[in-house]
Amino acid sequence: MNGKVNIGKLKKSLKVCFENDRAFPLKDRLESILYIYNVIFLMRMGCVITEIEDVLNGNEKCVQENKTAEDIASAIKAAEGKDEAAKAALSGYCDMAKQYIKSYFSLFGSTNIEETVLNGFNDVQGEGVIRAIEELLPEEGKPEPWKNPFPINVSAHHVHLSKEDFHVLFNGKEDLTPKAMLSQPGQFAANECVNLIGPKGVVERVRILGPFRSHSQVEISRTEEFKLGVNAPVRDSGNIEGTPGIVLQGDSGELKLNKGVICARRHIHMSPHQATTYNVTDTDVVMVKVKTGRELIFGNVVVRVHSDFNLDMHIDTDEANAAEIESGAIGFLEDITERNALRAIQN
């Protein structure tokens, strides 16, 4: 070994990940969760044990420098200055990272992997910890893309509004008020809700997601389409031409949308670096296997790559119910069925 493992730091980080992390100060939550997150990232990238040791010993040469680290540092400073929005953003980030970590460990049995790693602390030099982590690594180099799990989140019905439409529905309010941060940076669930009024029925208290968009959009499930009497097509978010409209009811009035109601196509968010790990590019189409009590494979899943994205698959409530997906579910890349580059050549 190149040096001793900081056992105390690793043990504290695991404690935060597997116990009630909200009992810890926000700064400690971030430090501990990111510590484990970096180890998992290196494991998934196929780093050798000596490289992981370097990370555990505080050597930053194996940690890729990125803007996210700078953003988090700035947010911590703002949160310490009593900035409530920064506190909410960091808390949401912690929750998202913790879910990802638990999803990864669940591959090996969530409590079992924790016990396996913690048992390594009996060795004061930390070699047992390194051996435990080594067991998770692939035998030959970097792991194949389809062996890498990713978190799956259920996206319930929601509404995106333009600023102009928001002012019609909530006269007197200048902006949305954040309720909870979402898995994608800068996006949040607002306190404000609207009712959806269709030809056949009403769906009440549908959450608005922020920030504002250039055009308003409503995302519902197939089940809700029947209730409302609306035949919404399956579309990528933002592709609303030729879609049906609906009436929105807010605190101070109603607004009729002429278009914008869709059933969102299932998709995976990835950063460019994560896309490289999975050997995919923006708008590639993949198949995803979900291992639950009702195991199934989702086809026609579009990959969406952007520098602002975090790794996360989104499906609606109908799709989640079909597979009995619960919080902390993970998916695996089963196959790549359409390549963006190939489509460009064919067209």
pLDDT tens per residue across span 5-51: 455 666 666 666 656 556 667 777 777 766 666 666 555 555 544 55
Average pLDDT over residues 292-302: 92
Whether 253 shows a pLDDT value over 80: the answer reads: yes
Spans of all domains in the chain? 7-143, 144-347
Name the band, by pLDDT with cuts 50, 70 and 90, for residue 83.
confident
CA distance 163 to 158: 16
CA distance 206 to 279: 36
Name the band, by pLDDT with cuts 50, 70 and 90, for residue 120.
very low
CA distance 172 to 252: 9
**Helices 127-134 & 110-119, crossing angle to 10 degrees?**
150
Average pLDDT over residues 224-250: 97
Name the band, by pLDDT with cuts 50, 70 and 90, for residue 298.
very high
Which of 104, 103, 225, 90 lies closest to 157 in space, CA to CA?
Answer: 225
pTM of the model: 0.61
Name the band, by pLDDT with cuts 50, 70 and 90, for residue 166.
very high
Task: Please provide the CATH number assigned to the domain covering 144-347.
Answer: 2.40.40.20
Whole-number Cα distances in Å, 225 to 157, 318, 340: 11, 11, 31
> In a 10 Å sphere around its CB, with 0-12 CB exposed, 13-18 middle and 19+ buried, how is residue 214 labelled?
exposed
